[in-house]
Structure 1
Amino acid sequence: MSAPHRLDRGHTDDLMTFLAASPTPYHAVANAAERLEKAGFRQVSETDAWDAETSGASASGSGGKYVLRGGAIIAWYVPEGTAPHTPYRIVGAHTDSPNLRVKPLPDLGAHGWRQVAVEIYGGPLMNSWLDRDLGLAGRLTLRDGSTRLVNVDRPLLRVPQLAIHLDRAVSAEGLKLDKQRHMQPIWGLGNDVRDGDLIAFLEEESGLGAGEVTGWDLMTHSVEAPAYLGRDKELVAGPRMDNLLSVHAGVAALTAVAGGSKLPYIPVLAAFDHEENGSQSDTGADGPLLGGILERSVFARGGSYEDRARAFAGTVCLSSDTGHAVHPNYAERHDPTHHPRVNGGPILKVNVNNRYATDGSGRAVWAAACEKAGVPFQSFVSNNSMPCGTTIGPITAARHGIKTVDIGVAILSMHSVRELCGADDPHLLANALVAFLEG
């Protein structure tokens, strides 16, 4: 008999809270860490020596540990007495989303308008950022080397669209946006644009002294709150579902299984930054972060390189990322026999050219987890005429030699400033992840 769902609509309510509180990868991992702390996890430093207590395997250790690095977080739970060669069960996700990010010289202006110089991050649907009330958030680095999160979560900036009277062809020929000329937001008036104004404003907002900020990683976000949508509120509209929906589900699943003393695997959450631009960074999936932490966990429990090799050989990773639900206005863009629907359960993503990492044996692992959880799942494959995107899945499989399966939740409006999913799919995904981590 299938196990009952452990999480329900309340999980989706909580997802909306998480989305609103996480305008940047740095906020997302801080919020994830706060939830892990409440579940008994403790942060460990990469610069400290690791031993059995640090790895969570000793009688005095709490069992659950996590590492924060920039916009990435790796968390794991080791029951007492776990052998060094015990394999891992990993939920992989990413914390970043396409957006507009502030340039090193941010102060800009022309014709009496004060603007902020931004660079396009990832592949956003740029039209969705027009005529939106935007806030500004991110990470400030101070003169002493410490960092401070900042979040101006109120209407501060706006990228105004050109009036139709000045672009009569827009309806017939479509909107054409130049990334450099047309996407710089306004945030005030004035002919005297002084270098340092934006950073001075953020220092004041953060209660810092003038000149304390020497570095910044700042990005815009829509200040419109997530909301239920539809006659029966069966849909959710909100920002950054790609891919904070998976990060949130992974945190919920990991905290749900933590405390178990007879887990056959070590459950792990690996949420990386920079997936939207290739994952090649010290906090991206193509960097050494995950492999280094898993290896150190093995060695801290007294394991050898042989134990590390055995552990990795038996490890499975679910790369959880959003995918495409069938669009009612563009059904011909989808594969004719694979039409994932919202609220139909999470999707298994397949591509024989390894844009996704799923193979037949991986499908069996995923099917077993969904069956155990009593969760239906759907299959996604792209239309042959439209090459699909990719995920951290193939990167994880190739870099670490770990069996990886690509899964996720089907949504509409991917890479829009405001995406759309089914209200039941987030908790269905989370329940399947619980079953997977439990083994």
Structure 2
Amino acid sequence: MEHTSFNQNLLDFLSTSPTPWHATRNMARTLDKAGFQALDEREEWDLKQGQGYYVIRNGSSIVAFRTGKRSPLEAGIRMAGAHTDSPCLKVKPNPEMRRKGFYQVGVEVYGGVLLNPWFDRDLSLAGRVTLLDKQGRVQDCLVDFRRPVAFIPSLAIHLDREANSNRTINAQTDLPPVLMQAPEDDKTAFTELLEAQVKQEHPEQKIGKILGYELSFYDVQPASLSGLRDEFITSARLDNLLSCHIGVQALLEASGDEPALLVCNDHEEVGSMSAEGAQGPFLSSVLDRWCGPENRSRVIARSMMISADNAHGVHPNYIDRHDENHGPLLNQGPVIKVNHNQRYATNSRSAALYRHISDELGVPHQTFVVRSDMGCGSTIGPITAGNLGVTTLDIGVPQLGMHSIRELCGTRDGYTLYQVLTAFMGWPEVN
């Protein structure tokens, strides 16, 4: 795969993956086309050498792996990790709000959202709906309105003269989006609107009752190339669907000789503590069933994990927010993340292998260390390293606007990380 087609596939993936459920479904479809076999955690597994498999939990997390030609006991496993969730606004369970002829819904802030950019955007709605069908069975289905259905209007500057100098946002009162106009006596339940959308997208589904939902608002503007020379990618959810896409493509393009695995967890943005999050048992369970619990420690001792999660690129208007020797630049290569307080799991050994592979391929890399007077974020890297005891590297593509409704990265960095990760998944010795 070359640079242009890689980015076009990335743009398509970003634009059609408004939620973790849609992202996971899209990754599964790509794996299906490549001949990977879906596994069910409720059933016995009969894994064969040289075959690709994947397993999904909660519809929002996925582990995909290739068993390789060599046994994991002999070769270890080349692992990569990312996360499917992004900061957003989620609809509350009883969301209806009717004020002055407007029909609004209450929202809950998910993760560390940069709230200001959510105002004055064309918003759509997507996620998972759980329903009772006419046969009395509980079913899940995905919905995506795909068109502007909501708007969070800013207060006019004439009514808030300090808006440009002293604006704060109250998540409870300032964020409920406007969905439509409705008379004061309107009794339309949100679930009625949702049921109509389910019927439109899934006409075969015989709905008895909507039992629940997990829905997120998102900006309908699709992912695109930008910049006078198309040197940038702008999109929602670059953090961290970019890494999910890179991981899937690398797994598919790797030689297949060595055991290799990709895990994309949900709930990283809120701490990873869930059944399908990195603090949960999902990855450990898959490894136990693949390698046998009695062999896992030996396999892990020969393995390595690359946790791929986007990095903070240097903002040209805020250069002083970076350590002057560790400020990553867009389109200058992926960023090795280092934090000696273990907010990142990188050590000299894991970083050395990444640098060695990059040098062998002739592609660039950078290093990030947060300013000593600032706090440091984290990733699934330290969590996975702590749970499994696996040597881990934290790396990411540099970006701007992290946790905004619209983010920006370079067109070359994702492809570079894909090249290195592909080589890593076929590397003969990783630990």
Contact persistence 1:124–1:416 (CA under 8 A): yes
- 1:184-333 residue pairs with structure 2 within 5 A? 184-192=176-184, 197-207=189-199, 208=205, 211-257=208-254, 260=256, 262-263=257-258, 266-299=259-292, 305=294, 307-333=295-321
Q: Which amino acid aligns with 2:280?
A: G
Contact persistence 1:369–1:433 (CA under 8 A): no
Count of aligned pairs:
417
Deviation string, structure 1 residues 114-173 (Cα, Å, up to 9, x no partner): 001110000111001101100000001121222101000100011111110010011232
In structure 2, which of residues 394, 398, 408 is the aligned counterpart of residue 420 of structure 1?
A: 408
Task: Give me the TM-score of the superposition, normalised by structure 1.
Answer: 0.92
Whole-angstrom distance in 2 between the partners of 1:79 and 1:397: 23
Whole-angstrom distance in 1 between the partners of 2:6 and 2:248: 11
Give the % identical residues.
41
Contact persistence 2:125–2:144 (CA under 8 A): yes
Contact persistence 1:347–1:378 (CA under 8 A): yes
Contact persistence 2:99–2:184 (CA under 8 A): no
2:115 pairs with 1:126 = yes
Whole-angstrom distance in 2 between the partners of 1:80 and 1:428: 26
Whole-angstrom distance in 2 between the partners of 1:194 and 1:366: 60
Deviation string, structure 1 residues 21-42 (Cα, Å, up to 9, x no partner): 0000000000000001111101
Aligned-partner SS, 2:81: strand
Aligned-partner SS, 1:104: strand
Task: Give me the TM-score of the superposition, normalised by structure 2.
Answer: 0.94
Give the direction of change, closer, same or farther, for the CA distance of 1:142–1:359 in structure 2 (3 Å limit). same
Contact persistence 1:349–1:380 (CA under 8 A): yes
Shift, 1:193, TM fit: 6.7
- 1:7-406 residue pairs with structure 2 within 5 A? 7-51=2-46, 55-57=47-49, 63-70=51-58, 71-80=60-69, 82=71, 84=73, 86-143=75-132, 144-173=137-166, 175-192=167-184, 197-207=189-199, 208=205, 211-257=208-254, 260=256, 262-263=257-258, 266-299=259-292, 305=294, 307-406=295-394
Which runs of 5 or more structure 1 residues have no equivalent in the other structure? 1-5
Aligned-partner SS, 1:326: coil
Deviation string, structure 1 residues 304-357 (Cα, Å, up to 9, x no partner): 60x221101111100000011100000011111112111101110001111100
Aligned-partner SS, 1:32: helix
Shift, 1:374, TM fit: 2.5
Contact persistence 1:107–1:195 (CA under 8 A): no
Contact persistence 2:385–2:392 (CA under 8 A): yes
Whole-angstrom distance in 2 between the partners of 1:73 and 1:172: 44
Shift, 1:210, TM fit: 5.6
Aligned-partner SS, 2:148: strand
Contact persistence 1:19–1:241 (CA under 8 A): yes
Contact persistence 2:337–2:394 (CA under 8 A): yes
Which runs of 5 or more structure 2 residues have no equivalent in the other structure? 200-204
Give the direction of change, closer, same or farther, for the CA distance of 1:109–1:209 in structure 2 (3 Å limit). farther
Whole-angstrom distance in 1 between the partners of 2:22 and 2:301: 34
Aligned-partner SS, 1:362: helix
Whole-angstrom distance in 1 between the partners of 2:104 and 2:208: 21
Give the direction of change, closer, same or farther, for the CA distance of 1:332–1:289 in structure 2 (3 Å limit). same
Contact persistence 1:64–1:77 (CA under 8 A): yes
Shift, 1:194, TM fit: 5.7
Whole-angstrom distance in 1 between the partners of 2:296 and 2:398: 35
Contact persistence 1:139–1:149 (CA under 8 A): yes
**RMSD between aligned residues:** 1.5
**4+ long deviations beyond 3 Å:** 83-86, 191-196, 208-211
